[in-house]
Amino acid sequence: MEPEDEGHGRSPISRRMAETNAPHADELQRQWARVRARLREECGAQTFRAWLRTLTLVRRDGDAVVLSVGTKFIRDRVSAQFADRLRALWAGEAPGVTTVHVVLGQSGDAVELQDEPEAAGPGPVEGPETENFILDTNLSSGHVMSTPTVSSGLAGESLRGLSAPLDHRFTFDNFITGTPNELAFAAARRVAESETVPFNPLFLYGGVGLGKTHLMHAIAWHIRERHPQRRVLYLSAEKFMYQFIRALRFKDTVAFKELFRSVDVLMIDDVQFISGKDSTQDEFFHTFNALVDQNRQVVISADKSPNDLDGMEDRLKSRLGWGLVADIHPTDYELRLGILQSKAEDLAVPIPPKVLEFLAHKITSNVRELEGALIRISAHAQLVGREITLESTAESLKDLLKANDKRVTIEEIQKRVAAHFNIRVAEMHSARRSRAVARPRQIAMYLSKQLTQRSLPDIGRKFGGRDHTTVMHAVKKVDELRAADRHFDEDVDMLRRMLES
């Protein structure tokens, strides 16, 4: 018997999503076909059959694509191992896609909501964001996945089930070290290898894409391997918050506390997400204290140092800074080149050293973008069947390179130029007109015009509130001097290259 109400039985949410996507369905399917083809090509038929063949396209949702698989086992594996590739391939096929959700289910319904029938019930406890936590448990690394759990709160929830999946590539062996990250790396290793608790907590912080999540996964892998009996719990601060809110909703906070306080190692990624969420912070503070009191290891990551975490209670900030605070600095050229060389080895296509050097110079933002660039040029080369050259690289990374160029700030330019001419940065804003400060200031204005996207009035404002005509004059003057004076020209050019690298 055909069930009459197929489609009508769906939740209003899934119906709405299906409708939103209807007009683009064909195009979306074509994009998906191309992504699949490329995946198969890259991974080989065997891997593809084992893990990826059953992936089904569910829908596009703004900048996210939702894919589904039939089993939790496959989903975890796909998320851990192929999330980055899927995201990169999708981004290449469908500009604007930044995330890929892999959810459980066969029908293409909005299954990730199925284990949350209460979503329509009592409102979120701490602001509207809570609704998203069902889906977005690890926004920063892009390994977004739903976490179907037993529907009656935490009862029966296992530690492994609660812990976010670990990316198999994020190991110590795969982590390249250099001056910017050696402290964080050494501290992470120490925590992973130590039989006792060397410092509590280990607090890792640094900008996006610099390897915080990588190091945390590496600690977890290492401990799981050496000491399988130790209970390691790794999750994002958002997921911690989601679990807590859920526990409140189900009046299940006792189970929550028991679970979180029973672990040997607790790792919370991106703790800045609980800034301003008072009751979650409270609970986190108590969990934290309970674990530290019992001499269990706590590892925290954040985008800022404990003191700089806005919206965080003072007592929590101070507590977070008690152990070892290790920052990961932005990458330098050597580290970027090292990372590129190591990642290039894993690619099917050889990449000339010149191209790696070029990328290390040009892509300075973070490691994630470096990886993205490598993947893009190798995919491009494979597709068109041509070898990789500097020209083809520049061509296929045009927008990425532009975005990286844009990232030089006026402040950096002022600092660099001031240092070069041995004057104080304050002179960039001062009213003094003596040649010794006026010329460097003009050069800094000129470089600001060349290297940033800022308008003339904008630039003027940054130089002590000067008029845009002053900036215009500076640009003209520097151009004239460059044409007339070879030494001057070389000087400016060197500054430009330093700022761009």
Q: Which long-range contacts (CB under 8 A, 24 or more apart) does 465-471 make?
A: 470/445, 471/445
Q: Pick from 68, 141, 236, 366: which binds Mg ion (CB under 5 A)? A: 141
Q: Where are the alpha helices (DSSP H) in 229-322?
A: 237-249, 253-261, 278-293, 314-320
Told to check if 203 binds ligand ADP by CB under 6 A, we report: no
Told to check if 51 binds ligand ADP by CB under 6 A, we report: no
**Under rule CB under 6 A, which residues in 438-497 are in contact with ligand ADP?**
none
Told to check if 140 binds Mg ion by CB under 5 A, we report: yes
Told to check if 176 binds ligand ADP by CB under 6 A, we report: yes
The token duo for 493 is: 């050019």
The minimum distance between CB 181 and ligand ADP, in angstroms, equals: 5
| b/e map 304-331, b = 16+ CB within 10 Å | bebeebeebeeebeebbeebbbbbbbeb
Told to check if 163 binds Mg ion by CB under 5 A, we report: no
Sign of CA dihedral 95, 96, 97, 99: positive
Told to check if 137 binds Mg ion by CB under 5 A, we report: no
Q: Pick from 92, 105, 211, 372: which binds ligand ADP (CB under 6 A)? A: 211
Partner touching 209 among Mg ion, ligand ADP, none, CB below 5 to 8 Å by kind: ligand ADP
The minimum distance between CB 188 and Mg ion, in angstroms, equals: 13
Partner touching 214 among ligand ADP, Mg ion, none, CB below 5 to 8 Å by kind: ligand ADP
Q: What residues contact 228, with CB distance under 8 A and at least 6 apart?
A: none
What does the alpha-carbon distance between residue 200 and residue 296 come to, in Å, rounded to a whole number? 8
Phi, psi of 55 (to 5 degrees): -60, 130
Residue 483 CB neighbours (<10 A): 10
On the CB side of 303, CA atoms within 13 Å amount to 13
**Under rule CB under 5 A, which residues in 194-253 are in contact with Mg ion?**
212-213
Kindly tell me which of 130 and 236 has the beta carbon lying closer to Mg ion. 236
The token duo for 226 is: 């050496």
Kindly tell me which of 137 and 141 has the beta carbon lying closer to Mg ion. 141
Partner touching 339 among Mg ion, ligand ADP, none, CB below 5 to 8 Å by kind: ligand ADP
Q: Which stretch binds ligand ADP (CB under 6 A): 155-163, 186-194, 202-210, 225-233?
A: 202-210
The minimum distance between CB 490 and Mg ion, in angstroms, equals: 42
Told to check if 165 binds ligand ADP by CB under 6 A, we report: no
Told to check if 208 binds ligand ADP by CB under 6 A, we report: yes
Told to check if 414 binds Mg ion by CB under 5 A, we report: no
Whether residue 209 contacts residue 365, with contact meaning beta carbons closer than 8 Å, is answered with yes
The minimum distance between CB 118 and ligand ADP, in angstroms, equals: 31
Told to check if 166 binds ligand ADP by CB under 6 A, we report: no
Residue 135 CB neighbours (<10 A): 20
- Position with the least CB separation from ligand ADP: 211
The number of residues that bind Mg ion (CB under 5 A) is 4
Binding mask 328-367 for ligand ADP (x = CB under 6 A): -----------x---------------------------x
CA 444 to each of CA 417, 438, 474: distance values in angstroms, whole numbers, following the listed order: 6, 10, 9
Q: Is the peptide bond before 198 cis (omega within 30 degrees of 0)?
A: no
What does the alpha-carbon distance between residue 225 and residue 210 come to, in Å, rounded to a whole number? 25
Sign of CA dihedral 186, 297, 171, 56: negative
Closest CA to 448 of 396, 381, 496: 496
Whether residue 474 contacts residue 422, with contact meaning beta carbons closer than 8 Å, is answered with no
Q: What residues contact 280, with CB distance under 8 A and at least 6 apart?
A: 126, 240, 241, 244, 245, 274
Partner touching 74 among ligand ADP, Mg ion, none, CB below 5 to 8 Å by kind: none
Partner touching 211 among ligand ADP, Mg ion, none, CB below 5 to 8 Å by kind: ligand ADP
Q: Pick from 361, 368, 461, 482: which binds ligand ADP (CB under 6 A)? A: 368
Kindly tell me which of 367 and 471 has the beta carbon lying closer to Mg ion. 367
The minimum distance between CB 182 and ligand ADP, in angstroms, equals: 10
**Under rule CB under 6 A, which residues in 87-146 are in contact with ligand ADP?**
140-141
Closest CA to 16 of 126, 97, 109: 109
Partner touching 340 among Mg ion, ligand ADP, none, CB below 5 to 8 Å by kind: none
Residues that bind ligand ADP (CB under 6 A): 140-141, 170, 174-176, 181, 206, 208-214, 339, 367-368, 371
Contacting residues toward Mg ion, per CB under 5 A: 140-141, 212-213
